[in-house]
């Protein structure tokens, strides 16, 4: 496929050079030595397993002033990489292996004790960092590393600090793409950023899911919440296609739907934060949606009731996603700090930027797809 | 302008009585009048010092005579009741809250000496729902107004107070929307709830709670009755506690019940006089509520001394709540597990 023409409306020449998207992980898909990539997740796994030990102790209950946003987990950043030592546990003497186990165990017990005594902090949105790192991430990580074998591209386009709005395409019947993006940013971004996502109100109305989402740092997609998060220097994720994107039929795969009403652009403009287009390839194939039982959806109050090749047919087994190979590409940031907050009230400008973001993601999707040979092997 | 004669309504309850006591302790205020339908309990009355108690019903036009004859210049309306049981049923509570406020405002409007009106309202006016923004500022309104109970009363009362402010632009009107009170001394539905040995919650929900120490609440009310600080202010402590986290900090045992059995269970609790939870309080325990207090800090000029967590811990210490599982036991278990791990490897 030929590279489609992208009309750069607001790119900056100086920034372009610095921010050129480069694969953070080698993508040797054209090379025959594929095993190199396969082995790569292994050190990371030990790395993440060892990471909790590096965690700073939580602030004492008396020292609380504010649910600390800025007391970022900077020590984690520093000690994230040097994880070479526990890479060959077999080769190590017995005592060292035992102490590592002991460390992990004492870390786990410390975590459990803080849980039992309620000695942890949540921010005003209900975000519980410890819960996210100790419970949510370990659940999602195997899916990310083993099942979907996600590769990220252009991670350097995501700023290390400060507010930013990540805008991505939505697909896959269930919003697994959003969860994988949080893992990508937490585990593979140099600063280990937490992605604070904006979710639909259905999510927060649902008993268990709503609570877990709040604890994992997500909030309702509405302008006040988005702007509050952006103003407090958080990385906010938004999937503007919403249900139209996540529940679209398989035949429409990788065709971006309408991008909401552009509310995310005006929020970013008011806060002067960059918009990072994010393109996710692979999520469309996890649950190919071939039908929609509208009466059942109405009955349960859902936006759609999916029929996939496996879902009602194999019962609960149908909930297992197909193991497609994923790529997540973070595009070059679109700066909004040159606009005044009043520009956010100019609908034409907002529409233009919305289209620019949408086009960027669509073109990136086409490019990634043209490079992909097979949906399952990459 | 410092007040010379202050009228405080609702002095038979904690906030009103202690506010009257604080104002009475200030010699620059000539008179402090406390009004309520029932006399304050003995221990509250003892603390009130030189404040005068007037047994009067604010639903009765007689209150106008009190305000005019005593030349009241500052009215602090703290008698909003949130508990139907304490005010003799929901009908009486609504009557007391809404009709009482209307009579009080009518009396204030007649009296040219009234210069300042302070209303103790509640953040319950924002409701509790999953469809609203996570944090409310004073200018936001919930998607759906509270359907009934205390919150609806508060919304209606605020409406009447706004109307009063329009008709008497010379009066400085302060509306304080308080988060839920907590503290070692105050007794509310929430403190009784956390004092239960086994705390029932609804399965699948975990509320974000913002609280306010009762001493901070009194300090805010006192400041508002001394100075002209017109406007609407959210009053809450910084920081958030999750309901489950609060239960653990109090050392209680949480029992989650499916939402189907919550209705009968809450009736049982009400019948047993353990906790009287109204439906809007139940919603609060499901979804919680957090407000933005920037305006309180920047415009009103008040910073709470206790954060939500500190206020809650103060309540736990004040009530001497013993944890079900002590930290010593946890330490023993922890040491045991670690020793076992060491022995195994």
Say what the pLDDT of residue A260 is.
85
Q: What is the CATH number of the domain that holds A194?
A: 3.40.1130.10
Co-location of A164 and A101 in the same domain: no
Co-location of A87 and A128 in the same domain: no
Residues of B in contact with A204 (CB under 8 A): 130-131
Q: Please report whether residue A207 resides in a domain.
A: yes
Q: Please report whether residue A31 resides in a domain.
A: no
Q: Please report whether residue A308 resides in a domain.
A: no
Helix axes A41-54, A94-117, angle to 10 degrees: 60
Flag whether pLDDT at B320 surpasses 60.
yes
Co-location of A89 and A133 in the same domain: no
Co-location of A346 and A365 in the same domain: yes
Q: Please report whether residue A21 resides in a domain.
A: no
Co-location of A126 and A116 in the same domain: no
Co-location of A330 and A361 in the same domain: yes
Say what the pLDDT of residue A32 is.
41
Q: Please report whether residue A138 resides in a domain.
A: yes
Instruction: Tell me the range of A216-230, B42-56, B194-208, B252-266 where mean pLDDT is highest.
Output: A216-230
Distances in Å between the Cα of A244 and the Cα atoms of A170, A177, A319 are: 9, 15, 20
Calculate how close chain A gets to B345, using CA atoms only, in Å: 5
Co-location of A229 and A244 in the same domain: yes
Do B98 and B157 touch, CB atoms closer than 8 A?
yes
Say what the pLDDT of residue B57 is.
84
Q: Please report whether residue A236 resides in a domain.
A: yes
Count: domains in chain A: 2
| Four-residue CA torsion sign, A41, A43, A45, A48 | negative
Q: Please report whether residue A36 resides in a domain.
A: no
Say what the pLDDT of residue A378 is.
80
Range of A81's domain? Answer: 41-58+74-120
Residues of A in contact with B312 (CB under 8 A): none
Flag whether pLDDT at A36 surpasses 90.
no
Do A132 and A194 touch, CB atoms closer than 8 A?
yes
Flag whether pLDDT at A16 surpasses 60.
no
Calculate how close chain A gets to B54, using CA atoms only, in Å: 42
In the three-class reduction of DSSP (H, G, I as helix; E, B as strand; rest coil), residue B209 is classed as: strand
- What would the pLDDT profile of A152-175 be if each residue is shown by its tens digit? 999 999 999 999 999 999 999 999
B332 touches chain A (CB under 8 A): no
Co-location of A98 and A135 in the same domain: no
- What would the pLDDT profile of A287-342 be if each residue is shown by its tens digit? 999 999 999 999 988 999 999 999 888 988 989 999 999 999 999 999 999 998 88
Percent of chain B with pLDDT over 90: 63
Q: For A16-20, A115-119, B257-261, which range has the lowest pLDDT when averaged over its residues?
A: A16-20
For residue B34, what are the β-bridge partners? Answer: B8, B53
Co-location of A83 and A133 in the same domain: no
- What would the pLDDT profile of A82-134 be if each residue is shown by its tens digit? 333 333 344 344 444 567 888 888 888 889 888 888 899 999 999 999 999 99
B326 touches chain A (CB under 8 A): no
In this prediction, the answer to ipTM > 0.95 reads: no
| Four-residue CA torsion sign, A185, A187, A190, A191 | positive
Interface test with A, best of B128, B134, B292, B314 (most A CBs within 10 A): B134
Flag whether pLDDT at B242 surpasses 60.
yes
Calculate how close chain A gets to B131, using CA atoms only, in Å: 6
Average pLDDT, chain B: 90
Percent of chain B with pLDDT over 70: 98
A228 touches chain B (CB under 8 A): yes
Say what the pLDDT of residue A68 is.
39
Q: Please report whether residue A11 resides in a domain.
A: no
Co-location of A134 and A222 in the same domain: yes
Per-residue pLDDT, averaged over A192-210, amounts to 93
Co-location of A153 and A240 in the same domain: yes
Co-location of A104 and A182 in the same domain: no
- What would the pLDDT profile of A331-377 be if each residue is shown by its tens digit? 999 999 999 888 899 999 999 999 999 999 999 999 999 999 999 98
Partner-chain contact B341 A102, CB within 8 Å: yes
Report the relative pairing of strands B288-291 and B135-136 from DSSP bridges.
Answer: parallel
Partner-chain contact B208 A214, CB within 8 Å: yes
B204 touches chain A (CB under 8 A): yes
Distances in Å between the Cα of A345 and the Cα atoms of A163, A227, A265, A267 are: 21, 15, 11, 10
């Amino acid at each position: 496929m030929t590279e489609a023409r992208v009309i750069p409306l607001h790119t900056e020449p100086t920034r372009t050079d610095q921010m050129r998207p480069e694969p953070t992980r080698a993508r040797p898909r054209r090379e025959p030595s594929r095993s190199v990539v396969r082995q790569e997740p292994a050190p990371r796994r030990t790395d993440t397993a060892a990471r909790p030990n590096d965690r700073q102790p939580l602030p004492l209950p008396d020292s609380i002033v504010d649910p600390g946003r800025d007391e970022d987990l900077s020590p984690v950043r520093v000690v994230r990489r040097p994880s070479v030592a526990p890479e060959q546990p077999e080769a190590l003497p017995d005592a060292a292996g035992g102490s590592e186990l002991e460390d992990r165990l004492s870390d786990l017990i410390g975590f459990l004790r803080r849980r039992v005594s309620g000695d942890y902090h949540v921010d005003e949105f209900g975000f519980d960092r410890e819960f996210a790192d100790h419970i949510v991430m370990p659940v999602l990580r195997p899916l990310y590393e083993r099942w979907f074998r996600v590769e990220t591209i252009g991670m350097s386009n995501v700023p290390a600090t400060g507010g930013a709005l990540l805008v991505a395409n939505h697909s896959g019947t269930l919003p697994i793409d959003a969860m994988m993006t949080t893992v990508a940013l937490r585990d593979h971004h140099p600063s280990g950023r937490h992605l604070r996502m904006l979710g639909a109100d259905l999510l927060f109305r649902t008993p268990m899911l709503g609570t877990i989402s709040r604890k994992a740092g997500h909030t309702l997609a509405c302008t006040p919440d988005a702007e509050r998060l952006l103003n407090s220097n958080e990385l906010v994720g938004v999937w503007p296609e919403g249900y139209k994107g996540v529940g679209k039929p398989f035949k429409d795969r990788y065709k971006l739907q309408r991008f909401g009403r552009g509310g995310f652009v005006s929020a970013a403009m008011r806060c002067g934060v960059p918009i990072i287009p994010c393109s996710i390839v692979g999520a469309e194939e996890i649950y190919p949606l071939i039908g929609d039982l509208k009466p059942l959806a109405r009955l349960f109050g859902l936006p759609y009731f999916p029929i996939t090749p496996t879902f009602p047919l194999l019962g609960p087994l149908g909930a297992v996603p197909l193991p497609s190979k994923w790529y997540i590409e973070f595009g070059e940031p679109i700066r909004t700090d040159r606009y005044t907050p009043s520009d956010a009230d100019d609908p034409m400008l907002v529409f233009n930027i919305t289209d620019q973001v949408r086009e960027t993601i669509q073109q990136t999707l086409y490019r990634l797809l043209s490079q992909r040979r097979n949906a399952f092997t990459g | 302008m410092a007040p010379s004669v202050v009228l405080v309504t609702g002095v038979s309850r904690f906030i009103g009585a202690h506010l009257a006591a604080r104002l009475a302790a200030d010699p620059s205020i000539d008179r402090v009048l406390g009004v309520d339908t029932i006399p304050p309990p003995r221990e509250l009355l003892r603390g009130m010092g030189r404040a005068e108690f007037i047994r009067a019903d604010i639903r009765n036009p007689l209150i106008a005579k009190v305000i005019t004859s005593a030349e009241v210049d500052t009215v602090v309306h703290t008698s909003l009741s949130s508990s139907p049981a304490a005010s003799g049923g929901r009908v009486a509570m609504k009557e007391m809250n809404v009709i009482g406020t209307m009579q009080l405002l009518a009396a204030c409007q007649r009296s040219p000496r009234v210069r300042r009106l302070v209303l103790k309202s509640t953040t319950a006016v924002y409701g509790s729902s999953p469809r609203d923004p996570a944090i409310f500022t004073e200018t936001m309104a919930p998607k759906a107004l509270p359907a009934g109970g205390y919150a609806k009363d508060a919304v209606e009362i605020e409406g009447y107070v706004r109307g009063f402010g329009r008709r008497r632009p010379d009066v400085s009107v302060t509306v304080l929307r308080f988060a839920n009170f907590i503290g070692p001394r105050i007794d509310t539905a929430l403190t009784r709830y956390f004092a239960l040995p086994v705390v029932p919650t609804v399965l699948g929900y975990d509320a974000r709670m913002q609280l306010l120490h009762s001493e901070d609440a009194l300090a805010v009310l006192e400041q508002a009755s001394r100075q002209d600080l017109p406007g609407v202010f959210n009053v809450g402590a910084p920081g958030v506690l999750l309901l489950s986290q609060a239960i653990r900090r109090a050392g209680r045992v949480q029992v989650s019940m499916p939402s189907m059995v919550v209705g009968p269970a809450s009736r049982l609790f009400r019948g047993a006089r353990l906790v009287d939870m109204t439906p809007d309080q139940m919603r609060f325990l499901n979804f919680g509520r957090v407000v933005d207090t920037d305006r309180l800090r920047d415009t009103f000029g008040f910073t709470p001394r206790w954060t939500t967590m500190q206020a809650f811990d103060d309540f736990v210490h004040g009530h001497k709540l013993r944890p079900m599982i002590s930290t010593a036991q946890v330490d023993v278990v922890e040491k045991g597990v670690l020793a076992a791990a060491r022995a195994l490897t």
